[in-house]
């Protein structure tokens, strides 16, 4: 399998619950290595831009409000099959439907406040990583 990169965000609820360390440890244990990490408080236009694909959805306003209510931890993760592996570790969007031991099952409280973001394709991962990181902020561990 190919070595890929994916974008992960620990959302404001995950930061508030003090599980940054547990989430990063889980990624490392499962072979997803952080190659870039930023803690930041998203501005409204940054959250809107990141989730632009959802701008016509009824939950868009709430999603932007949630994503800007406190700091987040943005990470580029590298590893074999990183996009799919991260989605598997995260679990379903709605924590009520997430499999046992996934991050969303363990930590998320609702479909909106679901603790983690993960890119849904290699193509989007490349776009999302560029949204937050310049080349010199990424450290390949190859
Ligand atoms: N979301 C929401 N209500 C919904 C669906 C999604 O608030 O009915 C939020 C939720 O935070 C989710 C994000 O919008 O993680 C992006 O939705 P998507 O369907 O892309 O899910 P994901 O890829 O994050 O699992």
* pLDDT tens-place string over residues 16-31: 999 999 999 999 999 9
Q: pLDDT tens digits for 48-80?
A: 999 999 999 999 999 999 999 999 999 999 999
- Does a structural domain hold residue 141? no
Question: Is the CB of residue 73 less than 8 Å from the CB of residue 38?
Answer: yes
Q: Measuring CA to CA, which residue among 117, 58, 61 is closest to residue 91? A: 117
How would you classify the pairing of strands 116-118 and 33-40? unpaired
DSSP secondary structure letter of residue 53: G
| Total count of domains within the chain | 1
User: What pLDDT is attached to residue 141?
Assistant: 77
Which of 1-5, 32-36, 102-106 has the least mean pLDDT? 1-5
- Does a structural domain hold residue 28? yes
Residues with CB under 6 A from ligand 1: 54, 59, 63, 93, 111-112, 114, 117, 120
Ligand 1 atom nearest to 90, measured from its CA: 25
**pLDDT at 44 > cutoff 90:** yes
Range of the domain at 85: 3-135
**Average per-residue pLDDT for the chain:** 97
Average of per-residue pLDDT across 106-132: 98
- Does a structural domain hold residue 142? no
Report the distance separating Cα 67 and Cα 42, nearest Å.
7
| Ligand 1 geometric centre to CA of 111 (Å) | 7
Percent of the chain, pLDDT > 90?
97
User: Exposure of 81 by Cβ count < 10 A (0-12 exposed, 13-18 middle, 19+ buried)?
Assistant: middle
CATH number at residue 50: 3.30.70.141
- Does a structural domain hold residue 58? yes
**pLDDT at 12 > cutoff 90:** yes
Q: Is the dihedral of CA 106, 35, 88, 47 positive or negative?
A: positive
Report the distance separating Cα 57 and Cα 53, nearest Å.
9
| Ligand 1 geometric centre to CA of 93 (Å) | 6
User: What pLDDT is attached to residue 17?
Assistant: 98
């Amino acid at each position: 399998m190919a070595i890929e990169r994916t974008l992960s965000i620990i959302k404001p609820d995950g930061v508030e619950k003090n599980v940054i360390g547990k989430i990063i440890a889980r990624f490392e244990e499962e072979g997803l290595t952080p190659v870039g990490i930023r803690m930041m408080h998203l501005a409204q236009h940054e959250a809107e831009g990141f989730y632009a694909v959802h701008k016509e959805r009824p939950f868009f306003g709430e999603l932007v409000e949630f994503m800007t209510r406190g700091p987040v931890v943005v990470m580029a993760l590298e590893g074999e099959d990183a996009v799919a592996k991260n989605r598997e570790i995260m679990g379903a969007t709605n924590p009520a439907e997430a499999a046992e031991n996934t991050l969303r099952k363990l930590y998320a409280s609702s479909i909106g406040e679901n603790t983690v973001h993960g890119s849904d394709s290699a193509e989007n991962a490349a776009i999302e990583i560029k949204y937050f990181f310049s080349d010199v902020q990424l450290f390949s561990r190859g």
